[in-house]
A = this chain, B = another copy of it.
Amino acid sequence: MDGRVTEVAHRVNYSETDQMGVVYHARYLVWLDVARCEHLRATGLSYREMEEAGFRLAVSEATLRYRQPARYDDPLRVRCWVREALPRRVTFGYAVEHAEGRLLATATVALLCLDAEFRLSRLPGELLGRLQPTPDPVRL
């Protein structure tokens, strides 16, 4: 059974722009983070609950491809899905799109599971079972 692709909406705010008149490239990582957290919430366990249960997901790798710029006040949607879920490492895929459909950026982010003392750890089986991979809906 395939996992889900979740989607969050975001309108670009002024703090996210730079003097080139487009969104500064580092801001996309924040949008990916928000999309990832909403994906976890949609699976039934929020990241806040994960931390309270003593687990952390720490970003170990990120790759971003910027295809077209996003601009101030643009309505966007960020789609997020699981690419791979291993006991110690989960990889997410992302597509950032203008609300009208143009693909603006794609990305992957890999996270390691750490315990409360920041040691590499295994995701609880129950959570891991919820992180169903799904084929990439766009070419990354």
Q: Main secondary structure on chain A at its contact with chain B?
A: mixed
A27 close to chain B: CB less than 8 A: yes
Give the copy number.
4
Task: Give the Cβ gap from A83 to chain B, nearest Cβ, in Å.
Answer: 16
Residues of B within 8 Å of A37, CB to CB, are 13-14, 73
A2 close to chain B: CB less than 8 A: no
Q: How many residues of A contact B (CB 8 A)?
A: 35
Residues of B within 8 Å of A69, CB to CB, are 58, 118
| Pair A18/B14 contact, Cβ less than 8 Å | yes
Give 20 CB contacts A-B under 8 Å: A13-B37, A14-B47, A15-B18, A17-B18, A19-B20, A19-B22, A20-B58, A22-B58, A25-B29, A25-B62, A26-B26, A26-B30, A46-B73, A58-B69, A59-B66, A60-B66, A61-B63, A61-B64, A61-B66, A63-B64
